[in-house]
Amino acid sequence: MTDNPVFCALDTQNPMRASQLAENLSPHIGGIKIGMEFFYAAGLAGYQSLAANGLPIFLDLKLHDIPNTVAAAVAALCPLQPAILNVHAGGGLNMMRAASKAAKDTAEENNLTAPLMIAVTVLTSLEDEDLNQIGVSATPHDQVLRLADLAQQADMGGVVCSAHEVEALRSRCGPNFKLIVPGIRPAGHAKDDQKRIMTPEAALEAGADILVIGRAITQAVDPVQAASDISASLQSTKS
Ligand code: C5P
């Protein structure tokens, strides 16, 4: 993967718009993230035309089902060669184990590179009250740590978490466990529906590996300028 930690979330159903954005943004980002919205609307053909652009793809389908079904879905997706693929940690230890094994086995059998398998911990749109409503009495912070421990036991390569858990997870899970962080907002930008947010610079300083940034780039008046400003500010954070 590239040095640039920014994966731009192309949350659109329109493959032409996604390809255009990817092409224009490519000098300023490390990869692109596409999720359910794009994949369900544009399908394999849309995926493949986007992949032709050459940027690493985080295929954010957040798989969540019984172990056998998730393993089969991972095996079906591996030939698309996403750089990163994810499942919900809430699917449990056995489901995550089945997913990471399916990725390794399918890659080996087909002589492919296995995607980095990532577990989604607690969505960055959820706070204490939201967790309480679904019967989780732990705070988002504690729930993220608990699910990250499970993900590590299941041989997942890392987790999706909010920037607020990055420091704790980095010391708990070690330097090689990848921390992928959405809910990123440049200073002064609207929160939208995200709750646990942080600026790109602060998230990187805290120890994030990959920053998923969507609307702050794609909805900007000038998306290329927005991506370029973010990548410049991250360069100066690193140096
Ligand atoms: O526009 P914004 O920067 O908020 O986009 C964030 C992206 O990250 C969205 O595509 C969303 O689906 C995704 N995401 C998230 N929280 C998670 C996992 C993924 O916001 N926990």
For residue 63, the Cα-to-chain-centroid distance in whole angstroms is 13
pLDDT > 90 in the chain, percent: 90
Residues paired with residue 117 on neighbouring β-strands, in sequence order? 85
CA 111 – ligand 1 centroid, Å: 31
Q: How many residues does the chain have?
A: 239
pLDDT > 70 in the chain, percent: 98
Q: Is 74 in the pocket of ligand 1 (CB under 6 A)?
A: no
Question: What is the pTM for the complete model shown?
Answer: 0.94
Q: Is 205 in the pocket of ligand 1 (CB under 6 A)?
A: no
Tokens (6 digits) for 3 = 């040095």
User: What does the pLDDT read at residue 193?
Assistant: 76
Overall average pLDDT of the 93-122 stretch: 97
Give the C-alpha separation, 154 to 107, whole Å.
Answer: 18
Tokens (6 digits) for 95 = 């489901």
Question: In this model, does residue 165 exceed pLDDT 70?
Answer: yes
Overall average pLDDT of the 128-141 stretch: 96
Q: Does residue 62 have an active-site annotation? A: yes
Q: Which of 43-47, 65-69, 175-179, 186-190 has the lowest mean pLDDT?
A: 186-190
Report the nearest atom of ligand 1 relative to the CA of 9. Answer: 10
63-80 residue pLDDT tens: 999 999 999 999 999 999
In Å, how far are 85, 105, 221 from 18, measured between CA atoms?
19, 31, 16
Q: Is 214 in the pocket of ligand 1 (CB under 6 A)?
A: yes
Question: In this model, does residue 27 exceed pLDDT 90?
Answer: yes
CA 183 – ligand 1 centroid, Å: 6
pLDDT band at 187 (very low <50, low <70, confident <90, very high): confident
